[in-house]
């Protein structure tokens, strides 16, 4: 599947096979130089060999390219 056209559908909130995260999803980075930090999905950059996202880091350290395998949905702690 080519990213052309799919990117617009993804931005509109459509579910894309094999793509786990949507626009503005909060994520935790599991690997690479920013492992252990959190951020938000800004853009789907590629589909192959695996989905690649542009992630805005919460630390204010800018935006990074991160493969889907190095991300998980952000774990939010509960107060109570």
Q: What is the pLDDT of residues 17-36, one digit of tens each?
A: 999 999 999 999 998 899 99
The reply to whether 12 falls in a domain is: yes
Q: How confident is the model at residue 4 (pLDDT cuts 50, 70, 90)?
A: low
Domain membership of residue 80 (yes or no) is: no
- The verdict on residue 78 lying in a domain is no
Q: Give the pLDDT band of residue 61 (cuts 50, 70, 90).
A: confident
Whether 30 is in a domain gets the answer yes
Q: In angstroms, what CA-CA distances link 42 with 6, 56, 78, 79?
A: 15, 6, 25, 27
Residue 79 within a domain: no
What is the model's pTM? 0.86
Confidence of residue 59 (pLDDT cuts 50, 70, 90): confident
Domain carrying residue 47 = 3-73
Strand blocks (E) in the chain: 26-29, 38-46, 52-57, 63-67, 71-73
Distance CA 6, CA 17 (A): 10
The pLDDT of residue 45 is 96
Look up tokens 């920013």; give the residue: 34
CATH of the domain at 24: 2.30.30.30
**Per the structure, how many domains does the chain have?**
1
In this model, does residue 75 exceed pLDDT 80? no
């Amino acid at each position: 599947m080519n990213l052309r056209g799919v990117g617009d559908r993804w931005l509109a909130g459509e579910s894309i096979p094999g793509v786990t995260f949507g626009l503005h999803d909060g994520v935790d980075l599991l690997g690479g130089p920013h492992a252990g930090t959190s951020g938000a999905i800004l853009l789907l950059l590629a589909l192959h060999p695996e989905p690649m996202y542009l992630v805005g880091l919460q630390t204010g350290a800018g935006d990074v390219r991160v493969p889907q395998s190095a991300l998980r949905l952000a774990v939010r702690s509960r107060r109570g």
